[in-house]
């Protein structure tokens, strides 16, 4: 059986590999591994702030948080997280609560999807 393997590398310190539809984030050095776990944990805290701001209909705060997510996602090489941030920012500008609920829930699910892979896998020694 032929196994397909797709490897996306960005930045050079980690990669996402897809093999047989199983996704796994692999970090290539311990320093980045710890930093990425910290970053994704911080984004979970940001999601809580987003949910609170949405409940209060504080669209200005949501725009600020969306812009931060956009920038941080790009800095850490998570294009999808960055895209979520930009979409959240734009939806807040339009005060589109339905779209904001979907985007925030999707971002939350995506980060929950990434984190366990990093935490459960010990860093390999070479």
Please report, for the chain, the start and end positions of each structural domain, with discontinuous segments joined by +: 5-120
Question: Mean pLDDT across the stretch 26-37?
Answer: 76
Predicted local confidence at residue 115, as pLDDT: 83
Q: What is the pLDDT of residues 108-118, one digit of tens each?
A: 999 999 887 66
Please tell me the distance from the alpha carbon of residue 30 to that of residue 34, in angstroms, as a whole number: 6
Tokens of 112: 């929950």
pLDDT higher than threshold 70 for residue 8: no
Domain 5-120 fold is: 1.20.120
d(CA 105, CA 48): 11
Q: What is the pTM of this model?
A: 0.74
Minimal CA–CA distance to 77: which of 126, 14, 30?
Answer: 14
Confidence of residue 32 (pLDDT cuts 50, 70, 90): confident
């Amino acid at each position: 059986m032929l196994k397909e393997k797709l490897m996306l590398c960005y930045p050079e310190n980690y990669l996402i590999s897809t093999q047989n539809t199983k996704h796994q984030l692999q970090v290539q050095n311990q320093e980045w591994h710890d930093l990425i776990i910290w970053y994704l944990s911080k984004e979970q805290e940001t999601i809580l702030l987003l949910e609170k701001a949405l409940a209060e209909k504080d669209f200005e705060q949501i725009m600020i948080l969306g812009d931060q997510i956009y920038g941080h996602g790009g800095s850490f090489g998570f294009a999808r997280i960055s895209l979520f941030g930009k979409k959240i920012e734009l939806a807040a500008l339009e005060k589109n609560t339905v779209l904001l609920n979907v985007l925030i829930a999707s971002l939350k699910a995506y980060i929950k999807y990434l984190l366990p892979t990093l935490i459960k896998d010990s860093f390999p020694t070479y």
